[in-house]
Amino acid sequence: MNVRIIILACWSIALGAQAAEPKTIVCLGDSITAGYGLDNPAAEAYPALLQDKIDAHAMPYRVVNAGLSGDTTAGGLRRIDWLLRQRIDVLVLALGGNDGLRGIPPEVTRSNLAGIIDRVRVKYPDTRIILAGMQMPANLGESYTTRFRALFPAVARGKHCTLIPFLLEGVGGVPELNQADMIHPTAAGQVLIATTVWSILQAALPHP
């Protein structure tokens, strides 16, 4: 009888520990996600700020910052299999900005983003995917900027993802929210990015 009680108690503890295991949110992005130029990227980049919001709501999720400075959608496609070695419950896909700055054809960017999404869903079909849209400055030409801006909603529709219309909403082009290069957000800019992402992400995070 005592042995049975002990076994049941251990089983309950094990189940409780399993239930408490946090789910994983991966932010796959470039230097904006990585927090390039910030004094303390581990605390100031928007993935860390998302974790702060999650913790404040006592939600059982951990945020992984998979930002890599200079990364493109092609780079994300190459490294997604490595990231998929851990389970991904929610993917925030924030790549494409460097594609645009390098003048990569929007059709190529669109194909790479679709490839990343497909690989995630093959491995983890239930993963919720949030795609962050990007925009390019007007000096790249109206035709290019229009095609580039349109590719993100097109991928989101075609792949049934949730769309953040513009990752840098309220931040892009605002001098006081960007570093001297006018590309990378300051810590204050990152706060606004986190707010933009959270407005979409929160709805995708029901308590397990």
Q: Please report, for the chain, the start and end positions of each structural domain, with discontinuous segments joined by +.
A: 23-204
Is pLDDT at 39 greater than 80 in this prediction?
A: yes
Q: Tell me if 173 sits within 8 A of 166, measured CB to CB.
A: no
User: Residue 3: what pLDDT?
Assistant: 42
Q: Which of 61, 74, 65 is nearest to 38 (CA)?
A: 65
User: Residue 21: what pLDDT?
Assistant: 86
Mean pLDDT to the nearest integer, 14-39: 84
Q: What is the 3-state secondary structure (H, E, C) of 86-129?
A: CCCCEEEEECCHHHHHCCCCHHHHHHHHHHHHHHHHHHCCCCEE
- Span 143-201, pLDDT tens digits: 999 999 999 999 999 999 999 999 999 999 999 999 999 999 999 999 999 999 999 99
Is pLDDT at 16 greater than 50 in this prediction?
A: no
Which residues are annotated as catalytic? 31, 181, 184
Is pLDDT at 8 greater than 60 in this prediction?
A: no
- The chain-wide mean pLDDT, for the chain, equals 92
- Span 49-93, pLDDT tens digits: 999 999 999 999 999 999 999 999 999 999 999 999 999 999 999
Mean pLDDT to the nearest integer, 96-111: 97
User: Residue 205: what pLDDT?
Assistant: 87
Q: Does domain 23-204 have CATH number 1.10.3720.10?
A: no
User: Residue 208: what pLDDT?
Assistant: 53
pTM: 0.90
Mean pLDDT to the nearest integer, 111-115: 98
